[in-house]
Amino acid sequence: MSCIRGARLLGASIVLVAGFATEAASKDKPPPCVYSEQPLAAAVGTAGHSRLLLTAITPAAGEAVHPDTVIGIDVEYHVANFAPGRYQLVINFSDFIPGSTTTVDDNEDPRFLAQAHGTAHLCATVRGLFPKEDVRWPLQMYISLQESTGARSSTLHAETRRVAFPSPDLSARAQERQNLAPPEDYFYALDAIFMYREEHAAAYRACVARLPDTAATLDEPFRAWNERNRAMFQQLDALQLERYIQVFRGSTGVPEQELKEARDEFDTYMGRQPDVALRNRCTRLRLVLTGEAGEFIGRYLRIVNEHVASRSVSKPAAR
């Protein structure tokens, strides 16, 4: 079995570095959990999209796990546009940062699904998760359907619901890390502020480039908006980069480049907007640029400020 850190940020799925192997089961233990697949007839309504259904788990969700626990997982899957040798089921355990996961596999080589519709029995040995520094406890496990797009990358197509497993065997050090980990709300708030800034900045660039007449009403408000929120934007940049450094630690990804690509996605999106839709957005944009950030993202700023203050950072993200 191996564990792999993975990340999904802004629609990208990145597979990171491999971890460790578990000890072999002793002969006096019950037969080990074994991967298996069974075909199913195509379900009604599944032709257009892929989906997964978590049908059974042993031990049951909410029950305690221990270092020698092997979780048995039954999944029903339906894969749209199926092709052999491309799709696999991945067992994920959530890390501290939403979108970043540690994956567990009992096989060194990927197991690609043999058919578009079927059931699969998966096995997750959790021993290696106990010393991992970034795994969130109680364990939050889910299964994802991934399409292989390269030697170390994949595209996400579907996920199951998440199930949790506590453990009485967590070390004091691991428990302390759980207590110090940022709450998930912090990361969601950081995303909302990031979107507020980048979406409106990309809208401005698209407006003045494709509809030059809008520059007369947008240039000065955009300049003032950036100046008025300069301190907030600077701290946002630092916090986002910190997040990307954590997610891509140990990978071949360059955090600064990954963050730039995330920003570029907003320009790509604006570039796909028809002129009529873009002009309507340009009209609404002036209201955003002349308003206060707190009117639009006040709740998220408070969440980020509270976390930043708890880390003894001298200045909050925004006033």
Along the 319 residues of the chain, how does pLDDT read in single tens digits?
555 555 544 334 444 433 333 343 344 555 678 999 999 987 665 557 899 999 999 999 999 999 999 999 999 999 999 999 999 999 999 998 887 889 998 777 889 999 999 999 999 999 999 998 889 999 999 999 999 887 777 899 999 999 999 999 999 988 888 888 888 899 999 999 999 999 999 999 999 999 999 999 999 999 999 999 999 999 999 999 888 887 776 555 688 888 899 899 999 999 999 999 999 999 999 999 999 999 999 999 999 999 888 875 444 454 4
Q: What is the rounded radius of gyration, in angstroms, for the C-alpha atoms of the chain? A: 23
Torsion 150-156-157-158 (CA) sign = positive
Residue 275, classified by CB atoms within 10 Å of its CB into exposed (0-12), middle (13-18) or buried (19+), is: exposed
- Residue 147 half-sphere exposure toward CB, CA atoms < 13 A: 15
Q: Domain limits of the chain? A: 2-180, 184-310
Residue 67, classified by CB atoms within 10 Å of its CB into exposed (0-12), middle (13-18) or buried (19+), is: middle
Instruction: Determine the Cα–Cα distance for residues 10 and 219; give it in Å rounded to an integer.
Output: 29
Instruction: Determine the Cα–Cα distance for residues 125 and 139; give it in Å rounded to an integer.
Output: 12
Residue 205, C-beta contacts closer than 8 angstroms, at least 6 positions apart: 267, 270
Instruction: Determine the Cα–Cα distance for residues 181 and 213; give it in Å rounded to an integer.
Output: 48
Which contiguous run of DSSP H or E holds residue 148? strand 139-150
